Copies of this chain bind each other. A is one copy, B any other.
Amino acid sequence: MKLLNDRNIMIIGLGLMGGSYAKALKRLDMHIMAIDTNPDTIEYALDNGIIDEGFTLPDAGALGRADIVIFALYPNVFKKWIADNQKYLKSGAIITDVTGVKSYIVYDIQAILRDDVEFIAAHPMAGREVYGVQNSTEKMFRDANFLVVPTDKNTPEAIEWCKELGRLLGFINVSVLSPEEHDKMIGFVSQLTHCIAVALMTCSDSTHLADYTGDSFRDLTRIANINDDMWSELFLLNKEPLLADIDRFIEEMQTMRSLLADEDREGLREKMRLSTQRRAAFNKK
């Protein structure tokens, strides 16, 4: 496996996710380099042995030594970063990423990328409600899903390499999806759920109810604590699938409302039984 032979890793953006990759790969004795514009982040990561080398600007020499480049910044800056810095990359390097939208970036990046470098997209479906390298931990990969998102331009070797990366990082489940399948799926299971949690918090000021709530409200709104910078970008970059999901969900809420208004108890029970039956598929094995 390339991953186990080529040991120089460069992480672009050392936040929660970049830091967690660093910790997981460091445990495999990789040589970890990182670029982050915040000098405190680099200092913290060096002091705590999370990385071996750190930079606050793209370093031509370090980039030229990287076998593997992991892009862990927001999608909007990805294309520009590649355009500006791909000239420094070593021939044969592999680039992967962690971004939560794919159609918007994968084709464009692959179109502008040098022929002797390969970009294989990935989405580690793990997260926490806290930020920064200080909160990074490989533990968040346990029990989580890792998605490899190739296009026709990717080589079978890179796809296999990326699947291996997911397994080595410690993800319990590694799957392969096209960029379109990925974005449709993520619109539903991730972005729609965040939109719902936000709307539930913003539709009415419930903060005075904090002492009265059960776990259901807490669980449902855990993700209402949201990074507005990142998530507003993810929403906009996946606008069409997400709009369709929101419409489908609102329509179903209206159906539930009608059943209740009509006091159609059997109709409500049918919905609840279907819900229970489908939810069973999501119980962790």
Report which A residues bind B (CB closer than 8 A).
Answer: 125-127, 144-145, 147, 173, 175, 177, 185, 188-190, 192-207, 209-229, 231-233, 235-236, 239, 242-243, 245-257, 260-261, 263, 265, 268-276, 278-282, 284
- Which of the residues B188, B211, B228, B257 comes within 8 Å of A246, measured between beta carbons? B257
* A251 nearest CB neighbor, chain B only: B203
A60 to B70, CA, bound (A): 73
Evaluate contact between A175 and B220: CB separation under 8 angstroms: no
CB neighbours (8 Å) of A221 from chain B are: 279, 282
In the complex, 29 of the A-B residue pairs with CB atoms within 8 angstroms, ordered by the A residue number, are A144-B214, A175-B211, A177-B212, A189-B212, A189-B214, A189-B216, A189-B217, A193-B216, A193-B220, A196-B253, A197-B275, A198-B256, A199-B252, A199-B255, A199-B256, A201-B275, A202-B274, A203-B252, A207-B282, A213-B282, A216-B223, A218-B282, A224-B278, A224-B279, A228-B272, A235-B268, A236-B265, A239-B263, A246-B260
CB neighbours (8 Å) of A211 from chain B are: 145, 173, 175
Contact status of A216 and B202, CB under 8 A, knowing A239-B263, A250-B253, A269-B229: no
Evaluate contact between B254 and A250: CB separation under 8 angstroms: yes
